């Protein structure tokens, strides 16, 4: 099997060009306190949560708090096509269901799905493998509640994208039923940062210093383990994967390397690179046309593999 490479997005209109430039400029200024390694973790979390209010959740999509096993989740949507376990980004130190409502609500609405956003434990209070353990428990709870694996998917962005891959590897190694497919948005799959560039032109959100801080806070001296850096683990025997990334982000190389590794693995995968787009641009669904197109691709991918 191999990883199919695709160029995502469409030719932007003048209005979309102006909107994209405005969003990029706003992110580069407003998100700085949330991704400064010297900022207290509490401030990083508060700032990210506050800025998430500038995104646009989909209208008419219900949500409620519940639990999967011991893991709190926000259940978004009540669609009947299938269920997505969503693992949010934030470098394992911040983020939560609230910060990702724009993405998860639009995904739920487009795919006619229920999206269970896991509120997994965060570092440094709960270091590796706490986040992975919580993702594992939440997935097994879905199985215990009667969700058929062929109607399940796992998805995640950034750190949650790496967590998605690590969860699939653990489930495979344990012989547990695997989900029908998985989605990864700008996944962070190598916490060693060995091949992460210092800077990338157009990067609007992340920086290498903060990534190093987050990697140390979460995984410490276990950063090179497959559980923390799943790119370094075995990629054979995983369900179909859809990977989406922007060209203008410091973690784009993680997706490139993952696509190359999947070319050599027993796994069916698609890798979509969106020119001129930033880290987890799908959070701007409902405003940015490319974000809507990307989530429409996710909808089609889910429906292709859900039975």
**Residues with catalytic annotation?**
158, 249, 279
d(CA 100, CA 96): 7
Token couple for 60: 């008419």
**Contact present, 156 and 274 (Cβ < 8 Å):** no
Burial (0-12, 13-18, 19+ Cβ within 10 Å), 198: exposed
Token couple for 53: 């209010």
d(CA 271, CA 243): 5
d(CA 198, CA 206): 11
d(CA 243, CA 165): 11
| CB-based contacts of 230, cutoff 8 Å, min separation 6 | 162, 165, 166, 169, 189
């Amino acid at each position: 099997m191999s990883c199919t490479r695709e160029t995502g997005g469409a030719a932007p209109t003048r209005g979309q060009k102006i909107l994209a430039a405005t969003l990029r400029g706003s992110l580069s200024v407003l998100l700085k306190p949330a991704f400064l390694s010297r900022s207290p973790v509490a401030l990083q979390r508060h700032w990210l949560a506050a800025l998430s209010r500038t995104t646009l959740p989909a209208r008419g999509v219900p949500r409620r708090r519940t639990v999967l096993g011991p893991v709190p989740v926000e259940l978004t949507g009540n669609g009947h096509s299938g269920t997505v376990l969503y693992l949010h980004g934030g470098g394992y130190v911040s983020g939560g269901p609230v910060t990702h409502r724009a993405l998860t609500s639009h995904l739920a609405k487009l795919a006619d799905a229920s999206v269970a956003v896991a509120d997994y434990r965060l570092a440094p209070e709960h270091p590796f493998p706490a986040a992975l353990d919580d993702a594992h428990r939440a997935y097994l709870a879905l199985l215990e509640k009667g969700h058929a694996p062929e109607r399940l998917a796992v998805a995640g962005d950034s750190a949650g994208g790496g967590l998605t891959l690590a969860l699939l590897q653990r489930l495979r190694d344990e012989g547990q039923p695997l989900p029908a497919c998985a989605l990864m948005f700008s996944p962070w799959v190598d916490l060693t940062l060995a091949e992460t560039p210092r800077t990338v032109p157009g990067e609007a959100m992340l920086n290498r210093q903060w990534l190093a801080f987050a990697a140390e806070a979460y995984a410490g001296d276990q950063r090179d383990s497959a559980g923390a850096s799943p790119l370094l683990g075995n990629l054979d025997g995983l369900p179909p994967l859809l990977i989406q990334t922007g060209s203008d982000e410091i973690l784009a190389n993680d997706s490139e390397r993952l696509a190359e590794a999947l070319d050599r693995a027993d796994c069916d995968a698609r890798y979509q690179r969106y020119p001129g787009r930033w880290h987890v641009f799908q959070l701007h669904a409902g405003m940015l046309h490319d974000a809507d197109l990307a989530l429409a691709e996710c909808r089609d991918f889910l429906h292709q593999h859900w039975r």
